[in-house]
A and B are shown apart, each in its own frame.
Chain A
Amino acid sequence: MTAPGASAGEDSGDLGRVLAQRERKFAMSLLAPAFLALLATTTFPLMFLIWTSTYRMDLAMPFADGFIGLENYRILLADERFWSSLLVSLIYTGSTVTLQVTLGLALALLVMDMKRGQGWFRLIAILPVVLSPAVVGMIWRTFMLAPEFGVVDYLAINAGLGSKNWLGDPLLAMISVIVIHTWQWTPFAFMVLLASLASLPEDIYEAARLDRATAWQRFRRITLPLLRPAIVMVVIMRTMVALTAFAAIFTVTAGGPGTATEILNLYAYRKSFTELSIGYGSALAVALLIVTIVISGLLFALRRAK
């Protein structure tokens, strides 16, 4: 695998160097626009964010603004709302990812065995994942969860549970936002795992059947180990997105009632743009970045460990 240009000049060193240099220059000019844009829209904001997190910066009271060093972080560590939002984040992420992967895997196994109708699943599964979480949140908040005529509440009434205040009760609100996120993204786990199942070699199963392995043994000893890379990949991807979920909660409960469904991401947003404390909000966003890095580090370590 030698790139064109470089390979031509291997016999004469000077020509090779000239061509390699020309290739490098060409590469740089192709990369420059995208990398300048990425620097401007990601790296530069990160620096600026760390800088603002060391300031007292309040859009409602600009006269009190000023450098305060690590004061925001000291406040953060003693802030009960920060710790509760971190806990909500972990519950939301842990439960939605677990549900997506187990339901997605179960359904993929089930559909894999179907002789007809697989196409329907592949088609229908696309619908939730291409939708905007903002639209999904709105639909659930109104047509699904509204008292009485909302379909979920209607079913609850008919099941003898009675009409519930789905988004007004702290526990039910938390369950609701978890269910909504799971509803939207289980098809994602399903599609990825189904594709990965379909690529497994058939002959291993044949051998296992000849050895009279039970269905459970086949799943436990063959399917699961072979699917492990795909499962871990889905877990990593879904965890990153769940940690920074925004629209799916904001449109449904806006973090409420109170702070019952306020994940850390939402707290950072509310602090910055509702309560207008940009400095402290920046510190919360930096804390979220650190949490994201720590959790993804743990997950990547899990991927490497066999």
Chain B
Amino acid sequence: MTLKRVRLFVVMAIAAIFLLAWVFPIIWSLLNSLKTDQDVLAYPPKLMFSPTLEAYRDVLFGSAAILPNLISSFIISIGTTIITMLMAVPAAYALARLRFRGKRFAGFYVLATQMLPPVGIIIPYFLILRRIGWIDTYQGIILIYLSFSLPFAIWLLVSYFEDIPFEMEEAAYLDGATRLRTLWRVIIPQVRGGIAVTIVFVFLNAWNEFLFAVVLSGNTVRPVTVAMFNFVSVEQTLWAKLAAVSVLAMLPVVVLGIVAQKNIVKGLTVGAVKGGGRR
């Protein structure tokens, strides 16, 4: 009995340590974002302090504002999501439901594009975009984000399209509906949930991307993940402001992650082999 108790205690202790280790860096950033720089730099680290929203005021509206960068991140992520979905939904439907020669090859091709390391894409793309003047533009960044968001979205959507019974389509055809009309009126409503999940993950991956963004961004278009570097320079680090920016950059994806909690394993397992720009 006592041995069992000791074992239970040890197991709980290990579990608690893991939970704490995962949540701590995030909570700590949140706490630091509510401190003054002096409190951030205090030794030993302060758990009790008088909280202030000064850092948030500075990074949102002050001289070093990253509000434009947050807006950039939203424009890039929303733009990528819309264009990706417009292309991926029809493609995934065709791959999941229609019969045509070369289908297996088409599916394999979508997977194989993911073998290409992102750095191997950005080197040539940098040269091309520089030639046509698309560095530091939204269209340049969104275009190259399709390289990872499209395969990811197509494969995630295929898994949802495959779940719909064929009878639904057949009934619609017998009623004389055209293919396009059937797709739009009968099939799409069936996979609404899958489309919503896909949207969440495409947005999340675009928001978190860094390599392409750091090469292609400039003074006009610079997402928040890249702009964060302004707060850490050789001369000085703006501690509380950096913490506030981190929290602002984490907020949308944490909210989306919790909203999509039930589907996260599916999204991640499709995503990591078959897409996912976050390296």
Measured CB to CB, the residues of A under 8 A from B are: 1, 3-8, 20, 23-24, 26-28, 30-31, 33-35, 37-38, 40-46, 48-49, 52, 107, 110-111, 113-114, 117, 120-136, 138-144, 148-149, 151, 154, 183, 187-188, 191-192, 195, 233, 236-238, 240-241, 243-248, 250-251, 265, 268-269, 272-273, 278, 281-282, 285-286, 288-289, 292-293, 296
The reply to whether B110 and A38 form a contact with Cβ atoms under 8 Å apart is yes
Q: Contact at A296–B127, with CB atoms within 8 Å?
A: no
Bitwise, B204-233 to A at CB < 8 A (1) or not (0) is 100111110011000000000110110010
- Cα A5 to Cα B183 with chains together (Å): 14
Q: Is the CB of A110 within 8 A of B90?
A: no
**What residues on A are CB-neighbors of B279 within 8 Å?**
133, 241, 244-248, 265
The answer on a CB contact under 8 Å between B147 and A38 is yes
B91: interface (CB < 8 Å)? yes
Which of chain B's residues 127-181 have a Cβ closer than 8 Å to chain A?
A: 127-128, 143-144, 146-147, 150-151, 154, 166, 169-170, 173, 179-180
Cα distance, A143 to B41, chains bound together (Å): 9
Cβ of B169 and Cβ of A149 under 8 Å apart? no
Interface string of B3-28 (1 = CB under 8 A from A): 00000000100110011011111101
Least distance between B150 CB and chain A CB atoms (Å): 6
B43–A148 CB distance below 8 A: yes
A120 to B243, CA, bound (A): 25
Chain A residues near B99 (CB-CB < 8 A): 3, 6, 20, 23-24, 27
Q: Is the CB of B144 within 8 A of A41?
A: yes
- Complex contact B11–A288 (CB within 8 A): no
Closest chain B residue to A140 by CB distance?
A: B25
Is there an interface contact between B98 and A192, defined as CB atoms closer than 8 Å? no
Q: Looking across the interface, which residue of chain B has its beta carbon closest to that of A150?
A: B45
Interface contact B100-A24, CB-CB below 8 Å? yes
A247 to B268, CA, bound (A): 19
B190 at the A interface (CB under 8 A)? no
21 contacts between A and B (CB under 8 A): A1-B166, A3-B97, A3-B99, A4-B166, A27-B98, A28-B100, A38-B113, A48-B124, A134-B225, A134-B228, A138-B228, A141-B232, A144-B28, A154-B44, A154-B45, A191-B265, A272-B126, A273-B215, A292-B115, A292-B117, A293-B115
Q: 10 other contacts beyond A34-B154, A143-B28, with CB at 8 A cut-off?
A: A4-B169, A27-B100, A45-B124, A110-B15, A121-B15, A125-B22, A192-B265, A192-B268, A288-B119, A288-B120
Is B52 located at the chain interface by the 8 A CB criterion? no
**A244, B268: Cβ atoms closer than 8 Å:** no
Q: Given A123-B258, A142-B232, A240-B273, is A42 in contact with B88 using a C-beta cutoff of 8 Å? A: no
Contacts A269-B119, A289-B115; A138 near B242 (Cβ below 8 A): yes
Q: Which listed residue, A44, A110, A114, A288, touches B117 by the CB 8 Å rule?
A: A288
- CB-based contact A42/B147 at 8 Å: yes
With both chains docked as a complex, state the minimum distance between the C-beta of A33 and any C-beta of chain B, in angstroms: 5
